[in-house]
Each structure stands twice: as C-alpha cells, then as structure tokens.
Amino acid sequence: MKMDKKLIIAIDGYSSSGKSTFARSIARELNYIYIDSGAMYRAVTLYCIRKGYVTEDRIDTASITEDLGNIHISFCYNPDTGEFETYLNSENVEKEIRGIKVSAHVSRISMIPEVRARMVELQRQIGVYKGIVMDGRDIGTVVFPDADIKIFMTASVDVRAKRRYEELKSKKIDADYEEVKRNIITRDITDENRDISPLRKADDAILLDNTRMTIEDQMKWIRDIIGKKLNENRN
Ligand code: DC
C-alpha cells in the first residue's frame, strides 16, 4: 500500500495573528506534531530574566551565549489539557512564559544570532521526520525553506491585541489591554526590523488575513490547500 507522504507545514506571521490556534487545529486534524517555536524563544528569555542577563536597559549577550548549552527546552503532552506544554530544564514553564514580563523582553533576546542559531538547529532536528506543523516568524524563510506548505498570517492590530488580552485573561494572567496593544506594536517593529531572520513573508508563502475569519473559516480554507498538496505528493 502506498502511504501518504507526510508534510511540513510552516506558519509564520505577526504576534497574536492566531498562528498557534490555527497550527494546533491543523496538527490535530492531520495527526501531526505541533511545535510552537515562539515558546522556545520565550523559554530562553525566561532563563535569561531569572539569571539577570536581561534588564530594562541592559542585555548581557556574552553570558547568554556562554550559557546556551545549559538551556534545555522540550515539549510534553498534558493529557488533562490535550496540549503540548513547554519545559525549561525539566520545569513546566508554560504559564510563566506567556506573561507580560517575558513578552516585554523576548524580541530582544530573539535578536541574538547565537540564540537564533541554536533554536533553528533544534527546530530542524524536530522536523526531521516530517508530519509537523510549526509556527513562528522565520519557519518558511529560514528553518524550513523547502516546507510543503507555507502560510503567512496577519490581522489588524486591534483584533490581535484583543485576542492576546482574552488569551491572557482566560489563563488568569494579569493584563492591561493598552499595555498588551503597545507590546504587540513594539514587537511588530522589532520583529520586522532585526538584522537576522526578520519577520517577512516568504515569496512562496500564501497570505492569510484572518481579521474577519473564524477558526472554522480558516480550517475550511486550508483543507483545500492540504488536499491538493497531498494529491501532488501521491502522484
Ligand atoms: O509567537 P510568540 O509571540 O509567542 O513569539 C514570541 C517572540 O519570539 C516574538 O516576539 C518573536 C520571537 N520569535 C522569533 O523570533 N522567531 C520565531 N520563529 C518565533 C518567535
């Protein structure tokens, strides 16, 4: 029997454009692994905050680079929530990495070339067996330039701020709407303008603006694209 060839699906886009909800739903439907690459940058950032390598006005790049080998990130399935959760050196940090403190520093940490090189290496290792949906900022451009399907997501700033605010509230994390919105705008600017792997749509990525789309609308839209790709691979 001829088996379906498994795909690598890369989902990039702006902060809070709904990447993880979308990527997770696709992975669930195809029975693929979902990897949240942003969680990896967030976990490194949490480590750096705890170690005092990053403060409001200073970032100790030399110490971060030197310490990278001691930062181990993994994802473990939580049967209670049905989700993969992020672990930093064997500690479950899923909740802490979503807080405003990590959000405030993560763009600066993810600008460090050595941090990016290490994360890309780990992400490629995870992708080696295919059957994976990974979301982030540089998945289609840098991590998996040969991905079978590349999607680039966006939505209006207000819709994105509202989504992030609701997400934080639902996780019982303290949040102020205006602060969340400011953080999103600042991160857009930093992510788009950094020297290494800036946020940009890959030439062969399909643009998805979901400002006025529900997750069901988005799933309907992608099913067609996935079906065509699986058919192509079968022939
Ligand atoms: O997707 P997120 O908002 O949780 O990502 C957190 C930060 O990590 C984001 O500001 C940029 C950075 N990031 C990155 O530089 N490259 C990725 N592939 C994923 C995230």
| pLDDT for 3 beyond 60 | no
Residue 89 has a pLDDT of 96
41 in contact with ligand 1, CB cutoff 6 A: yes
Q: How far apart are CA 70 and CA 73, in angstroms?
A: 10
Mean pLDDT for 59-85 is 92
**What is the three-class DSSP state of 34?**
strand
Alpha helix stretches (DSSP H) within 171-214: 177-193
Nearest CA to ligand 1 atom 14: 137
110 in contact with ligand 1, CB cutoff 6 A: yes
25 in contact with ligand 1, CB cutoff 6 A: no
Residue 100 has a pLDDT of 87
Residue 4 has a pLDDT of 66
74-93 pLDDT, tens digit per residue, is 988 888 988 889 999 999 99
User: Which of 126, 176, 127, 95 is closest to 7 using CA atoms?
Assistant: 127
The CA 191 to ligand 1 mean position distance, Å, reads 8
- Going from the N-terminus, what domains does the chain have, and what CATH number goes with each? 8-32+134-219 (3.40.50.300), 33-130 (3.40.50.300)
Residues 3 and 233 sit within 8 Å (Cβ to Cβ): no
- Output the pTM of the full model: 0.90
- Ligand 1 atom closest to the Cα of residue 123 is 18
- Taking all residues of the chain, what is their mean pLDDT, rounded to a whole number? 93
The secondary structure of residue 18, as a DSSP letter, is S
37 in contact with ligand 1, CB cutoff 6 A: yes
Residue 1 has a pLDDT of 43
